Each structure stands twice: as structure tokens, then as C-alpha cells.
Amino acid sequence: MMAAAINANCGGREHAAIYVERQVVRWFQDIFRFPGTASGLLVSGTSMATLIALTVARNAKAGVDVREHGIAAASAKMTVYTSGEAHGSADKAMEILGLGRKALRRIAVDQAGRMDTGALARQIAGDRAAGLKPFCIIATAGTVNTGAVDPLNEIAGIASDERLWLHVDGAFGALAILSDADRHKVDGIELADSIAFDFHKWLHVPYDAGMVLIRDGDAHRAAFGAKQDYLAGAERGLAAGQPWFCDLGPELSRGFRALKVWFTLKEHGIRRLGEKIGDNCRQAEWLAARLDQDGRLQRLAPVGLNIVCFRYFDPILDNAVLDTMNERIVVELQERGIAAPSTTRLNGLLAIRVNITNHRTRISDLQVLIDAIVAIGSSLRDEIS
């Protein structure tokens, strides 16, 4: 309400709202141990953050002035590497940037859903031998399906050896850095060239609010900076206050997103917010342990952070029937107002996906969920036989 009433345009110029956004960016530069020369921007979410980061990476690595001449002027086809479990926003970025989805090499994952770094190195070497131009790796800190975190340190080593840009999609998982008990899971994120993450997921900020951080602030400005006469800067007055945020992304007019993030951090503090993130991870571990003790429920993936994937199970039923049953269970849970899990497919099997990001979630809520799944599953089972 305040941001709407203030009605600031955060594209640039010299006014209070700009200072609030700069403060928020600086806080997160510090949290991710980026240097003071890094830069960042509040955006609608991780999809936009990844698009901006990949634009900077593409322009920095193309070897030609892409802004002037377009991507067709690059000496060879530019390729990007990410895991088979990476979010679809990476595909969209490739499409929009004129690189094409085929140039996004989907690397195999291990049993835990993490990028296979041997396969990554082989794909890069093969592409170089074929005359292509690898330029970027997108690692994921918290995959959308299961919350798996790619081996960030190893991938950073490959990126450094191969002189590739390392972008980390940390939509929700990056903020595990705030939890004392879980920080180690995203170790290596601080080595990234760019990070995309959301405040509207695990930091409980109202939609929409995400951030892109770019290690090389000059490269960031080089990708988007554009001074027109009608946007000329000045030493004093409203036209002062460089750099302007419109020079760090595609948008000129931008709302005051930073205020709600600023208030969330000031009100709760990163220690408490980190504790809540830790609580969700412990709840996911508790849920996984309970599922493993119950023969009627089958876990379908390891728990990396806060996501638990499983299904109602009966060894007598085939997978097609179990898929239909589990789909029905989720709809029943949602329509009866019991819980709001989603579904996904893991190794061809339909999974109930429980992503615990609510600071109000209690273990007793998870017990209600388990009981309801077993009860609905058993009654569907009776219907079949």
C-alpha cells in the first residue's frame, strides 16, 4: 500500500526509493559475498533475473558487439550448459536471446538430481571440438522438482578452467545461505558470475519480487546502459544519482518493489528468516523419515532442501493405476482444503510434490497431510478392487 501511494518510478533519477533499492541490493551482495563492484536489480522473479543474467553473459562472451550487430555476428554458435532438471525459464531465456533451445545442452543428472560434472566436461569438450562456442553454465541451487543442488564448487572449477560464465539459478534454494544449518548445501554459490533468486518464495515477500546479482558491474551496465538525451544525467537535481536502474535491465519505468523487501528484512532480520528456512528443511526431513516407515507411501527422491516427492503405493497395482490414483489424491487434498501439494514426474512416475516454504507450517500439519493421503488412497484402492 505504501509503495503504491508513494508511486515512485525506480527506473532512475535521484529520490528516496532509489536509495532503498540500492540498500537491498547491497545487503544481498554482502550475503552472497559478491564484491563491492558487483551490481544488482530487483525484478519480477527468477525468470526475468535469468534472462537478464544470460543477456549480460552472452554480450560479455560473444567476442562481437551483440547490441550493435546482433547474435548472428558471433563467430560460432554459442552454447549454454545446464542440467536435465533445470527450470524451463532457462529454455525461455535461450529462445528470447536468439540462441535457440538446441544450444542449451541438457546435462544428465545423478540419482540425487544433481548435474553430472563428468558429463558436463565431456559435452563442453565435444562442442568445442565441433567448432561451437561454449560460453555459460547454468547451475541450479534447488531444482524445481526435488530441491537438488548441483555441485556448485566443482562446476565453478570447470567454469573457471573453461573460461565460461557461471550463472546460478537459486530461485528458492539460494536463500538456504541464510540458515546456519543449511548454508553448506549451497557452498560455492559465492563463486558465481551471476545469481538469480526470489524474495517471493522462501523470504515470504509478497509477489512479485526477485533479484539478479552480477559480479562484474561494468559488464552489467555494458549490456543495458543507454543514455538518451531525454534521460541525460546531471550532477544535481532529479537527473543526478548514477547509475540508474534502467541501465541495468530492459525496463525504464519500474515500481517500488524494494520497499516490501526492505521492510521484511528490517522487521524480521536475516537471522530469523534464516531460522524459518532451516525449520522448513527440518520439516522436510521429518516428513521423509515418516514416509520411509510407512509401507503405503513410497518416497521417490532424496530430500535436498525443503521438497519431498513421494506417492501412495501398493505393490499389487501397476504404475499407470498408481499414477491416476496419486493424481486423484492431490486433487482431493486441494479441493477438500486439506493441503496444497503439486504433482510432478520423476523417472516416469507421478509424484506428489510437497514444497514446504510456509513459515507457519508445523509438524502437526504434515501429520494431517500423511493421514489424509493414506485415507484417500485407501478409499480409492477400495473403489478399484
Ligand X SMILES: Cc1ncc(COP(=O)(O)O)c(C=O)c1O
What is the closest distance, in whole angstroms, from the C-beta atom of residue 167 to ligand X in the complex?
11
Please give the order of strands across the beta sheet that includes 297-299.
297-299, 307-312, 349-355, 342-346
Choice between 344 and 361, CB closer to ligand X = 344
Choice between 143 and 179, CB closer to ligand X = 143
Q: Distance between terminal CA atoms of the chain?
A: 55
Residue with grid cell 536463500, as numbered in its chain: 175
Choice between 49 and 300, CB closer to ligand X = 49
Q: Which amino acid is at 24?
A: V
- As a whole number of angstroms, the distance between CA 149 and CA 192 comes to 14
SS3 call for 37 = coil
Name the DSSP class of 115.
Answer: B
What is the closest distance, in whole angstroms, from the C-beta atom of residue 82 to ligand X in the complex?
11
Q: Which long-range contacts (CB under 8 A, 24 or more apart) does 16-21 make?
A: 17/256, 17/258, 17/259, 18/241, 18/244, 18/245, 20/256, 20/258, 20/259, 20/262, 21/245, 21/256, 21/257, 21/258
Helices (H) and strands (E) in the chain, counts: 11, 11
Choice between 62 and 194, CB closer to ligand X = 194
Choice between 99 and 148, CB closer to ligand X = 148
Q: Does residue 49 contact residue 257 with C-beta atoms inside 8 Å?
A: no
What is the closest distance, in whole angstroms, from the C-beta atom of residue 142 to ligand X in the complex?
6
What is the closest distance, in whole angstroms, from the C-beta atom of residue 376 to ligand X in the complex?
26
Go through the chain and tell me how many residues it has: 385
What is the closest distance, in whole angstroms, from the C-beta atom of residue 168 to ligand X in the complex?
10
What is the closest distance, in whole angstroms, from the C-beta atom of residue 258 to ligand X in the complex?
16
Choice between 45 and 377, CB closer to ligand X = 45
What is the closest distance, in whole angstroms, from the C-beta atom of residue 355 to ligand X in the complex?
9
Residue with grid cell 526475468, as numbered in its chain: 48
| Position closest to ligand X via CB | 45
Task: Give the binding site for ligand X (CB under 6 A).
Answer: 45-47, 87, 89, 140, 142-144, 169, 171-172, 198, 210
Choice between 89 and 123, CB closer to ligand X = 89
